Amino acid sequence: MWTKYQTYYKDNFKLAYPVVISQLGHTMVALSDTIIIGHTGDVPLAAVALGSSIFSICMVIGIGMSYGLTPLIAQEYGRQNKTACGNLLRHSLVINLVMGLLMSTLIYAGSNYLYKLDQVPEVAMQARPFLKLLGISYFPLMVFLSFKQFAEGLGFTKQAMHISIIGNIVNIVVGIALVYGIGGLPRLGVIGVGIGTLTDRILMAVAMCWYVLKADRFKPYLQEFWNRYFSMEMIRKILGIGTPVALQYVFEISAFSSAIIMAGWIGAREQAAHQIAINLASITYMMASGISAAAGIKSGNHFGAKQLKELRLSAIASYHMVLIMMGTTALIFLVGCRVLPLMYINDPAVIEIAAHLILIAAFFQLFDGTQVVGLGILRGLGDVKIPTVITMLAYWVLGLPGAYLLGIHLGYGIQGIWWGLLLGLLTASVLLFLRFQHKTTQLNAFTAAS
């Protein structure tokens, strides 16, 4: 039974592992920021948690919008249409630059209103300058994503991985130096991790742009990149996929980010514990989203080449891979629930709360992995509207209200909030898999009829 998938395991893994590592780059920024600041106290940790959670909602809008490019590139690559690839990159870059400018301005200005979220005043005060720096970093992040998604759509995934690794090293070094005032530098605390993140993203944007525009392997695809002609039809085509994908991310991530605000209603320790647990869960989510991105690229290639049998086998192989990976991380969470928080903080009360949340995170690993892979496969097929409705139903109609009902209204606290979020992940996982089954059956029937 498994032998028919062996080729697809190998191909998917070869494409996926660099994407997994580069995807982890987004989360490792938050992870390193959290670990660096966590040992300075629970209030600075809660401030970074608040700023990061708000920024993450905005960040996934940009990530989702940039993802509109990848399946289109993958499909044109499957059709061997190199000219279209350069045209798509040019139009996508313009969209991302405009998005970056608007969102940077919005985040920077919006940071002045954190006090209206009914948070602990000291937490909101420290989060404000941190969020301003994250807002500035949004623009170079969008530049990086433009060229990264183009390269990955063509199957070149390793360079983004290398750039992400170097960028994270820079973030850690600058962050530690400025948070603790090493080498005669000022001791900046929360502001220090923000400067580290901004420096990291500027360097990554410059490096990725230079790589794509200068590497010989991309020159056949960039012949039309410098053309000044812009097509509203192509912009609509990119936005037609990018906007629903952005909404998919917003529905899920905003549910989890809203949970940090609800945790703040309970207390600073609960908020800090939530940040620790969600940070760990975000790492495994980004690993799964790397497999999802690879699954979307392969699905787009096979769909563009009209290879429907190969498409389904490759997609099922991606499901197998994410189940194995997320099953492993679930076991790690179960065994290490009381050890993992020690990376972040020494407060016994926060560690105890975080341990219970990590146990809940262990339960939703498989659902989180399968739902994000399902989204990636469907994205590769250009199927984004129905999956967007599914994510809205799962997270905003069931997950987030369930979190409020259990955690706040019924008084189960931070654990109740997390059980509500688990309901959203379970719903999304099941419905997206059913959508995948329906879509591939529909494509096979259409091909047989024609």
DSSP 174-242: HHHHHHHTGGG----THHHHHHHHHHHHHHHHHHHHHHHHH-GGGGGG-TTTT-----HHHHHHHHHHH
Predicted confidence at residue 139, as pLDDT, reads 96
Look up residue 150 and give its two tokens. Answer: 């183009």
Minimum mean pLDDT range among 6-10, 48-52, 369-373, 445-449: 445-449
Predicted confidence at residue 248, as pLDDT, reads 87
Q: For the segment 98-151, what is each residue's pLDDT rounded down to a tens digit?
A: 999 999 999 999 888 887 777 778 888 989 999 999 999 999 999 999 999 999
CA 322 remoteness from chain centre? 16
Predicted confidence at residue 382, as pLDDT, reads 84
E strand or H helix that includes residue 255: helix 232-266
Residue 212 binned pLDDT confidence (cut-offs 50, 70, 90): very high
Contact 150, 92 (CB under 8 A): yes
CA 270 remoteness from chain centre? 24
Contact 299, 241 (CB under 8 A): no
Residue 1 binned pLDDT confidence (cut-offs 50, 70, 90): low
Q: Is the pLDDT assigned to residue 28 strictly greater than 60?
A: yes
Predicted confidence at residue 153, as pLDDT, reads 84
Residue 321 binned pLDDT confidence (cut-offs 50, 70, 90): very high
Q: Is the pLDDT assigned to residue 390 strictly greater than 80?
A: yes
Residue 234 binned pLDDT confidence (cut-offs 50, 70, 90): confident
Residue 300 binned pLDDT confidence (cut-offs 50, 70, 90): confident
Predicted confidence at residue 422, as pLDDT, reads 93
Predicted confidence at residue 26, as pLDDT, reads 64
Q: Is the pLDDT assigned to residue 446 strictly greater than 70?
A: no
Predicted confidence at residue 401, as pLDDT, reads 94
373, 393, 261: which is closest to 321 by C-alpha?
A: 373
Higher pLDDT, 414 or 77: 414
Predicted confidence at residue 449, as pLDDT, reads 53
Minimum mean pLDDT range among 56-65, 167-176, 363-372, 429-438: 56-65
HSE-CB at 213 with a 13 A cutoff on CA atoms is 13
Q: Is the pLDDT assigned to residue 447 strictly greater than 70?
A: no
67, 436, 76, 126: which is closest to 272 by C-alpha?
A: 126
Predicted confidence at residue 264, as pLDDT, reads 81
Q: For the segment 418-429, what is each residue's pLDDT rounded down to a tens digit?
A: 999 999 999 999
Whole-structure pTM value: 0.79
Predicted confidence at residue 113, as pLDDT, reads 83
Instruction: State the chain's mean pLDDT as an integer.
Output: 87
